[in-house]
Amino acid sequence: MNAVVARLVVQRLGIMLISLLIVAFAVFFATEMLPGDVAQILLGQSATPQAVAALRTAMHLDQPAILRFVYWLGGLVSGDLGRSYANNMDVAALISGRLTNSLQLAGVTTLFSVPIALCLGITAAMFRGSLYDRIVSIVTVSVISIPEFMVATVAVLVFAVYLRWLPALSIADQVHGIGELLRIYAMPVITLSFVVSAQMIRMTRAAVIDTLNTPYVEMALLKGASRRRMVLSHALPNALGPIANAVALSLSYLLGGVIIVETIFNYPGVAKLMVDAVSTRDLPLIQSCAMIFCVCYLLLILIADVIAIISNPRLRNR
């Protein structure tokens, strides 16, 4: 890795940190600037004014918002995520177990969907305009156009109601054997994969077609190269950056999809935790979950950026 690449990567890292700061700011103020006395909510209506006042001081609620933001940020960095309003538990403890579940779900989905999506996207671009390409396009547009919960609903109707292959809900607490595990993950993973792959196929196809339209691919054609050679040897190496971007952006759809999917299948992940937290207005929990999602998202974008930088021959071979 040379100095130019290193500098660009460090620059991207810096941009990510600034973005994260702005996001933290937005998340904090969207939730903290709201009406209602948090101390009062925590202690309930029957609490004495003295108790409420004491708690307010303990939570820095009597201090300006900007200071509280700094305290909160400091807490986040040092791993102190605060205490849940709803059950007065440590937020970090609440999240940690759930996070593993969510990451497992995301990981399995990624392993499942990325290879399939890349193959479909690249081959659709290779045979652009063919019947195969058109079918792939129509299916992906349809999947993108419908809400995630509808994909899930259809999956339940097909696999659980009519075929009765799989359970409609997944409870990961009691798992016996690999078969059971597969059955539990199957519905959420199938749903998520559909949502994520559709995006990825479309973007991969577009990226490859963009490079196929370049003069150097036409030059390869005029040298007598076969279609396979034009795609694999000339177009793909140059489409790597855009494809990495497509994969990262599509995987970020996991974040949106996971919220719906965990809810509909009752899957014990962070997203479900957050949706529940919203209904109880458990602000520290919401803030922490939101920050986790944003960090994941920004990390994905960062990885894609770095791949794009490294795969750019102009930067790599100075």
Question: How long a stretch of residues is the chain?
Answer: 318
Distance CA 256, CA 98 (A): 17
Distance CA 38, CA 34 (A): 10
Residue 146: DSSP 8-state:
S
- Which residue lies nearer to another protein by CB, 9 or 175? 9
Helix axes 270-280, 91-126, angle to 10 degrees: 120
Q: Does 252 bind another protein (CB under 8 A)?
A: yes
| Among the residue ranges 65-73, 87-95, 180-188, 288-296, the one whose residues contact another protein (CB under 8 A) | 288-296
Q: Which of 149, 175, 206, 249 binds another protein (CB under 8 A)?
A: 149
CB 61 within 8 A of CB 39: yes
Task: Determine the size of the site formed for another protein (CB under 8 A).
Answer: 70
> Minimum distance from CB of 275 to another protein (Å)?
6
Q: Torsion angle, CA of 60/63/69/70, rounded to 10 degrees?
A: -90
- Which residue lies nearer to another protein by CB, 66 or 141? 141
Q: Does 23 bind another protein (CB under 8 A)?
A: yes
CB 102 within 8 A of CB 109: no
Residues 82-111 that bind another protein (CB under 8 A): none
Q: Torsion angle, CA of 142/143/149/153, rounded to 10 degrees?
A: 80
Q: Does 274 bind another protein (CB under 8 A)?
A: yes
- Which residue lies nearer to another protein by CB, 108 or 260? 260
Q: Does 221 bind another protein (CB under 8 A)?
A: yes
> Minimum distance from CB of 38 to another protein (Å)?
11
- Which residue lies nearer to another protein by CB, 56 or 229? 229
Distance CA 273, CA 95 (A): 8
In order of 6, 24, 70, 77, 302, the CA distances from 13 in angstroms are: 11, 16, 22, 17, 7
Q: Which residues bind another protein (CB under 8 A)?
A: 15, 18-20, 22-23, 26-27, 30-31, 33-34, 141-142, 144-150, 153, 156-157, 160-162, 168, 214-216, 218-226, 229, 234, 237-238, 252, 255-256, 259-260, 263-264, 274-275, 277-279, 281, 283, 286, 290, 293-294, 297-298, 301, 311, 313-314, 317-318
